[in-house]
Amino acid sequence: MLQTLVSVLTPVFFMLGLGFVSGKRHWVNPHGTEMLGAFIAKFALPVSLFLAIVTAPRHLLAPELVPTIAYAAALLSGFAIALLYARRAGFSPITAALYSLTVGMPNLGGIGIALFQALEGVEATVSLAVANLVGTLTVILACFIRLEMQGGGHPLRAVSAALLKPMTIVPTLGFVVAFLDIPFPDLFVSALRPLAQSTAGAGLFLTGVILSTQRLRPTRAVMLGALASNIVQPAVAFLACLALHLPAHLEARAIIAMAIPAGFVGTILSAVYREGAEEAGGVLVASSALSILTLPLWIVLALWLGGA
């Protein structure tokens, strides 16, 4: 078990550390992450999730949809905790949205891809694709609706904009292609595979660079957000899996996916809206640091449940 844990987490934290040091020492421009972030969000991650779905054996796809209730319960629990606190603390609507998004949406693209591939290989990425789609249709969608409404936009326009983003529409098309049993040409798989293979390393490196630009101030909001992301969400996933009586390997994947620390989307958006950087960035740093302790513990529990 210890050897498995070390072999899985070493590349993850190494790439995070490399990005962090590169940003701190200005080997790369720590404030010029927009291009790499756009590459991951619009191309690498959606294609990686798409290929994981269309290349998976058809008989494996239907069971992967069963844990969606566990994913939704876990993601919405963290999001709700953050949103309730933000309202009580008097955060502005934009800050509340970005803070809640950071707490509620794990870093599935940056850390999740590398972690799942190290644990079970590329075939496990289909579970991550389902978790990411659930998060997009719940946490990210709710965040974009709130942001759009603050700009005077209509909620329906915000919904359509969120649903048409590459991270949402591309994996969804993958499920449509797979369940309709439409053959996806091997030539296209070969053409898209370099994009998919770049996702894990690029996502981890980008997360490390973004972490290098943030300062950790252990405010009540930051610590509550980190605890909700690292402890409450995987705990809710664990309880939901037990209630649903899921197969052991699906339980393990759901718990590990929800134990991944907070993502960086809220931090990137805070630079766009010029608001919420302290709250979203603080949660990103605290959750990532806390994951050094919590992530191995949840992985051990998940592997034990899975019989590994």
Can you give the pLDDT at residue 18? 92
The 10s digit of each residue's pLDDT in 90-143 is 999 999 999 999 999 998 877 887 788 777 766 677 888 888 888 888 898 888
CA distances from residue 52 to 48, 55, 58, 60 in whole angstroms, order as listed:
6, 6, 12, 11
Pair of tokens at residue 155 = 């909620």
pLDDT at 149 over 70: yes
**Cα(230)–Cα(54) distance, integer angstroms:** 31
pLDDT at 152 over 70: no
Confidence (pTM): 0.84
Which band of pLDDT confidence, cut at 50, 70 and 90, is reported for residue 217?
Answer: confident
Which domains does the chain possess? Answer: 2-19+33-305 (1.20.1530)
The 10s digit of each residue's pLDDT in 229-276 is 999 999 999 999 999 988 888 899 999 999 999 988 887 777 667 788
Can you give the pLDDT at residue 282? 87
Q: Cα 194 to chain center, whole Å?
A: 21
CA distances from residue 158 to 86, 121, 182 in whole angstroms, order as listed:
22, 36, 31
The 10s digit of each residue's pLDDT in 41-69 is 788 888 888 888 888 777 777 787 888 99
Any idea which residue has 């590329």 for tokens? Answer: 122
